[in-house]
A and B are shown apart, each in its own frame.
Chain A
Amino acid sequence: MNCFEARRDFRAFWRRELSAERREAFVAHLRECSGCDGAFRNFALTAPVLHSEVEPAGHREDLARVREAVAARRPAMAYRTSAPRRQWLSMSAAAAMVLIAGIMAAYLSISEPVGNLNDVLSQSEPQVEPVVELFGPVTPVARVDQGNGFAE
Chain B
Amino acid sequence: MLGLARTVERRWSAAVKPDQELIDEALSGQVGAFAELASRHRGSVERLCQRFFSDHELARDLVQESFLKAFAGLKTYRAEMPFGAWLRAIVINLCYDELRRRRRKPEELVGDFTEPELDWMQLVNTATPEEIVSAAEEKRHAHDLAHRLLDTLRPDDRMVLVLKDSEDMAVSEIAAALGWSEAKVKIRAFRARQLLRKQAERILSAERRWAAR
State in angstroms the CA–CA spacing of A135 and B28 once bound together.
22
Question: Which of B28, B73, B86, B136 is the one whose CB lies under 8 Å from A127?
Answer: B73
Residues of B within 8 A of A (CB): 27-29, 31, 34-35, 38-39, 42-43, 46-47, 50-51, 54, 56-65, 67-69, 71-73, 75-78, 80-81, 86, 89-90, 93-94, 97-98, 101-102, 121, 124-125, 128-130, 132-133, 136-137, 139, 142-143, 145-147, 149-150, 161-162, 165-166, 176-177, 179, 196-197, 200-201, 203-204
Question: Which of A47, A59, A79, A111 is the one whose CB lies under 8 Å from B136?
Answer: A47
* Interface band, chain A: 35 or more
Are A45 and B69 CB-contacts (below 8 A) given A50-B165, A150-B177?
A: no
Residues of A within 8 A of B (CB): 13-14, 16, 26-27, 30, 37-52, 54, 56-59, 62-63, 65-67, 69-71, 73-74, 77-80, 111-117, 120-121, 127-128, 135, 138-145, 147-152
State in angstroms the CA–CA spacing of A77 and B25 once bound together.
11
State in angstroms the CA–CA spacing of A45 and B147 once bound together.
9
Can you list 26 A-B contacts with CB-CB less than 8 angstroms, sorted by A residue number?
A39-B197, A41-B125, A43-B200, A45-B124, A47-B146, A49-B51, A52-B136, A56-B46, A56-B47, A57-B46, A58-B43, A65-B64, A70-B31, A70-B35, A70-B68, A70-B71, A111-B61, A127-B76, A141-B73, A143-B179, A144-B73, A148-B80, A148-B81, A149-B73, A149-B81, A150-B176
